[in-house]
Structure 1
């Protein structure tokens, strides 16, 4: 897969105060490299302490389509991830979707030429 047409996006959500990870991070970060042509998440990471939880989240995100598989991603996290940061993780993933939409909108606007100066009468 060509990696030249990818973007990096990140999103965060506050962790609950009653879990050990809060002392280290205060929030959970979800990070993704996304192919802008296909919407496929090429790589992903999450700011958890446990490698097991990191690997699980990565396995759900990596290879998924951020445009067409949002519902499936959230559903799979809800069914499979039962750690103390569950709600924060799902919130951060939903914010990642929103951030992707924002970035794609900005990229589309930048790619659209402003023809107003070229067609003066």
Structure 2
């Protein structure tokens, strides 16, 4: 796959005030590398403290589509992810979906965050 077939989208969210992610990064975000036509998520990385968490989040999303239902992602998170950032992960995905949809519609993507 050529480099021009992918786009980079960051989904932002707020994590809890006492969450180490908030203390270290200020907010939670997931960066997605997405196939521009199909919406397939090819790679992702999150602002997390532990590498194992990043790998787990990657397993949750790689291979899915930016058009995957947030409800489906929520069900998987509730069944498999028992960390304090569960809600932030879903919110970041929804924000990335919103940006992807704007991109697909040819509209300006707001880069100001959440």
* TM-score w.r.t. length of structure 2: 0.82
Q: Residue 110 of structure 1 corresponds to which residue in structure 2?
A: none
Determine the structure 2 residue equivalent to 1:119: none
**Cα distance in 2, alignment partners of residues 61 and 20 from structure 1:** 22
In the alignment, structure 1 residue 95 sits paired with structure 2 residue 95:
yes
Any unmatched runs of 5+ in structure 1? Answer: 108-121
**CA distance in structure 2 between the partners assigned to 1:70 and 1:91 by the alignment:** 9
Query: Which runs of structure 2 are paired with 1:49-68 in the superposition (5 Å)?
Result: 49-68=49-68
The answer to which structure, 1 or 2, has the higher relative contact order (CA under 8 A, 6+ apart) is 2
How many Å apart are 1:32 and its aligned residue?
0.6
Matched residue, 1:40: 40
Q: Are the counterparts in 1 of residues 73 and 90 from structure 2 also a CA contact under 8 Å?
A: no
Moved over 3 A (4+): 68-71
Q: Aligned pair count? A: 107
Give the alignment's Cα RMSD to 1 decimal: 1.7
How far off its partner does 1:37 sit?
2.0
The 8 Å contact of residues 19 and 84 in structure 1, kept in 2 or not, is answered as yes
Flag the structure with larger Rg.
1
Kept after mapping to 1: 8 A contact 2:20/2:49? no
Paired residue secondary structure (1:12): strand
2: distance between equivalents of 1:85 and 1:21?
A: 9
Task: Tell me the alpha carbon deviations over residues 20-51 of structure 1, each in whole angstroms, 9 at most, x when there is no partner.
Answer: 22210121111111112222111111110111
Q: Given the two structures, how large is their TM-score scaled by the length of structure 1?
A: 0.78
Measure how far apart 1:17 and its partner are.
0.9
Residue ranges of structure 2 left out of the alignment (5+ in a row): 108-114
